[in-house]
Amino acid sequence: MIDFSGKRVLIFIVAYNAEKTINSVLDRIPKELHTRDVEVLIIDDSSKDATFQTGLKREDAASDFKITILRNPENQGYGGNQKLGYRYAIDNGFDVVALLHGDGQYAPEKLPVLLEPFFKDDADAVFGSRMINKQDALKGGMPMYKWIGNQVLTTFQNTLLGTKLSEFHSGYRLYATKALRRIPFERNSNDFHFDTDIIVQLHFAGVTIQEIPIPTFYGDEICHVNGLQYAWDIFKTMLRAKFHEMNLLFDRKFDVGQIELTYDLKMGFASSHTFAIESVQPGAHILDIGCGQGYVAEHLAEKAAHVTGVDQYIREKSDNPKIDFKRWDMDGTEFPVSVSDFDQIFMLDVIEHLKDPEVFMEKLRAAAANKRPEIVLTTANIGFAVTRLMLLLGNFNYGRKGILDRTHTRLFTFASLRELFDQTGYKVTEVRGIPAPFPKAVGDNALGRALVALNQLCIGLSKGFFSYQIYIRARALPTVPTLLAQTIERSEEMRKEFAGNPAA
C-alpha cells in the first residue's frame, strides 16, 4: 500500500448544479486519503440550485480532511472554473491537484491508484482513461455517438500532435503543481475544450502524461456540452496548435518554450541556406553578416578562401582555421572589419531585424566602395500565400519564428525589397523565390520533400504569392564621391599621357 503522506494533495471538485450529488462524491473519497496532507476544494460555478449551501454544511462538519467551498460570483465555465482551482493549488503550496466532477461521473474510489505515480515520481500528469479498454466504455453506458466521436477526435489529435493517448476527453485528471507552473493555463479557453488546451501545453512543455484505466459511468446527470460545438472547438484548437508548432501562426497559450529559439540549418532541400551556399564563389573572401552561431559559415568555408562572421551573439572561436568571428551589434555605427576587403557579403535572414535597413545598406555600400563586393541576401516574403490567408481571416500575429518572427522590425515583398536596393544604390543581378521549409515542419521525409517540390513548381507560376522567402544577389553601384574620385584620378592619368605625347 502506498503511503500518501509527504506530499500535499488538493482534491479539487468542479461543481455546477450539483446539490444532489456533491455529498455522495465527498463520501466516496477513500479512507486512505483522509489525512492531514489531503484537502478538498469545491468551487461552485454560480449554480442555480443549493450546491453552495450543501457544501457549506460539509465544510462546517467534522471531517478527517479540510473541506473548503467557494462560489464564483459569475459563471466562469468549465475551463474557467478549473483555472481558479489550479491557481488555488499553486498559491497554497499543494504538490498535486486531482480534478473531480461534482456530478459523480468520475469515481473518487480510483483516486489512490491515480495518485500513486506522483508518490513514485513516475509522472507529472495522470489521466484516468475510459478508452484503454474501449469496450468497457460502452458497457459503462457511454452512448454510441459519444464513443465514436471520442475515438475520431482522439485519433485526429494524436495525429497532429504525434502523441499516443487513448483519449483526450476524460475529465478525470491529476497534475503536479510544478507542471502547472510551467504552462500558461490561465490563457486557455473557459469552455470545455480547456482540457485539450492543457494537453497541448503539457505536450509542448515535455511533461510526461501517464494514463490509467478508470470505469465509465453515465447516470442521470445533465450534460452541459454541445457536442457539435465541442468538436468544432477541438478542431480549431488543434489546427492552431499545429500551425503554432510549424511557426505559421502564433498563439500565446501554446508558447511554452517547446520551439527552439536558435535558427538551425536548412540543408538537403531547396532553402535559403542551400541557395546561399550554391552562390559561393570558389576562393572568395566572405563576410557573413548576422552569422548567428556560425553554422552556415562552416558550409560557406568549404568553397571560400576565408569566412569572417559578425553578429551580436556569436561563438568565440571556430575550429576551422578558415573561419573567424567578431562580435558586433548590427545597429551600431562602425563596421568591425574593412568591408572592401571581401569578395562577397552574405546577409541571410538579417535585414528584417534591422531598425533602419535603408541606412544600413547605404553604409554598407559606402564602406565597400573600393571593391564593391557582391551582396547575397535572403529575407521572408510577407506576400506568402499563408500570410495572405491569415490576413484574409483577420489574423496578423507575430511569433517566435517564421515570417512573423517577433524580432522582425521590417517586412518585405519582392517589389519592396527590390525598391530598397534601387533606392540605396545597388544593381540587382538575380531574384529567386525560396519554398517553405516543409521538411522542418513535417519531417525530412518523402512528404516534406514532395511539398518542397510542389512549392517550387508553384513559385514558377507566381513568385510573389508562393515564395516563403526572397533570395537576391546584387552589387553596389559606385557612390558619387567614389565616382568623382575615380573621375579625377583617371583625368590626371590622361592629362599626364597627353602631356607626354602631345601628338596624341
Task: Give me the count of residues in the chain.
Answer: 504
For cell 508548432, name the residue.
Answer: 245
Write down the pLDDT at residue 356: 93
- Model pLDDT for residues 175-224, shown as the tens digit of each residue: 999 999 999 999 999 999 999 999 999 999 999 999 999 987 765 555 55
Q: Is residue 48 part of a domain?
A: yes
Enter the DSSP assignment of 132: T
Across 312-343, b (16+ Cβ under 10 Å) vs e yields eebbeebeeebbbbeebebeeeebebebeebb
422 & 299 share domain? yes
**Lowest-pLDDT range, 135-144, 180-189, 409-418?**
135-144
CA distances in angstroms from 355 to 263, 331, 333, listed in the order given: 20, 7, 12
Beta bridge partners of 96: 9, 176
Query: pLDDT exceeding 90 applies to what percent of the chain?
Result: 64
Mean pLDDT of 428-439: 94
- Model pLDDT for residues 311-336, shown as the tens digit of each residue: 988 777 888 999 999 999 887 778 99
- Model pLDDT for residues 94-121, shown as the tens digit of each residue: 999 999 999 998 999 999 999 999 999 8
295 & 216 share domain? no
Sign, CA torsion 128/131/134/138: positive
Write down the pLDDT at residue 245: 83
Q: Is residue 402 part of a domain?
A: yes
Across 283-303, b (16+ Cβ under 10 Å) vs e yields ebbbbbbbbbbbebbbbbbeb
Q: Is residue 138 part of a domain?
A: yes
Q: What is the CATH number of the domain that holds 365?
A: 3.40.50.150
Beta bridge partners of 176: 96
Residue 192, C-alpha cell as written in the block: 470545455
Q: Rounded to whole angstroms, how far apart are CA atoms 468 and 479?
A: 33
Residue 64, C-alpha cell as written in the block: 478527517
Q: Is residue 250 part of a domain?
A: no
461 & 358 share domain? yes
Q: Is residue 409 part of a domain?
A: yes
220 & 332 share domain? no
439 & 309 share domain? yes
333 & 474 share domain? yes
- Model pLDDT for residues 225-234, shown as the tens digit of each residue: 677 898 999 9
313 & 196 share domain? no
Element (H, E) at 127: strand 125-129
Structure-model confidence comparison of residues 400 and 409, the more confident one: 409
Q: With both helix axes pointing from N to C terminus, report the angle between 144-161 and 227-245 in degrees, rounded to the nearest 10.
A: 10
Q: What domain range includes position 304?
A: 272-483
Structure-model confidence comparison of residues 451 and 371, the more confident one: 451
C-alpha angle with apex 34: 81 to 130, nearest 5 degrees? Answer: 55
- Nearest CA-CA partner of 267 in 293, 244, 299: 299
Q: Is residue 248 part of a domain?
A: no
Torsion of CA 286, 288, 294, 297, to 10 degrees: -30
| 3-state SS record for 171-206 | CCEEEEHHHHCCCCHHHCCCCCCHHHHHHHHHHHCC
Write down the pLDDT at residue 257: 66
Q: How confident is the model at residue 394 (pLDDT cuts 50, 70, 90)?
A: confident
Centre a 10 Å sphere on the Cβ of residue 390 and count the other Cβ atoms it contains.
18
Burial of 132 (0-12, 13-18, 19+ CB in 10 A): middle
Judged by DSSP in three states, 273 sits in helix
Residue 132, C-alpha cell as written in the block: 484503454
Average pLDDT in the chain: 89
Q: How confident is the model at residue 504 (pLDDT cuts 50, 70, 90)?
A: low
Do residues 153 and 231 make contact, with C-beta atoms less than 8 angstroms apart?
yes
Write down the pLDDT at residue 259: 47
What separation, in Å, do the N-terminal and C-terminal C-alpha atoms of the chain show?
A: 112
Residue 327, C-alpha cell as written in the block: 562580435
Query: pLDDT exceeding 70 applies to what percent of the chain?
Result: 95
Write down the pLDDT at residue 221: 52
- Model pLDDT for residues 46-56, shown as the tens digit of each residue: 999 999 999 99
196 & 288 share domain? no
Q: Rounded to whole angstroms, how far apart are CA atoms 286 and 297?
A: 9
288 & 189 share domain? no
CA atoms within 13 A on the CB side of 282: 0
The total number of structural domains that make up the chain: 2
Checking if the pLDDT of 254 tops 50, the result is yes
174 & 279 share domain? no
**Cβ-proximal residues to 431 (8 Å cutoff; 6+ apart), any chain:** 414, 418, 463, 470, 471, 472
Q: Is residue 434 part of a domain?
A: yes
Q: Is residue 101 part of a domain?
A: yes
445 & 318 share domain? yes
Do residues 358 and 422 make contact, with C-beta atoms less than 8 angstroms apart?
no
Write down the pLDDT at residue 223: 57
Burial of 135 (0-12, 13-18, 19+ CB in 10 A): exposed
Q: What is the CATH number of the domain that holds 55?
A: 3.90.550.10
- Model pLDDT for residues 460-498, shown as the tens digit of each residue: 999 999 999 999 999 988 877 777 877 887 888 888 888
Q: Rounded to whole angstroms, how far apart are CA atoms 173 and 198?
A: 11
Do residues 151 and 142 make contact, with C-beta atoms less than 8 angstroms apart?
no
Write down the pLDDT at residue 402: 77
Checking if the pLDDT of 269 tops 80, the result is yes
pTM: 0.71
Q: What share of the chain is helix, strand, coil (3-state, %, to 5)?
A: 40, 20, 40
Write down the pLDDT at residue 309: 94
| 3-state SS record for 304-369 | CCEEEEEECCCCCCCCCCCEEEEECCCCCCCCCCCHHHCCEEEEECCHHHCCCHHHHHHHHHHHCC
For cell 492531514, name the residue.
Answer: 36
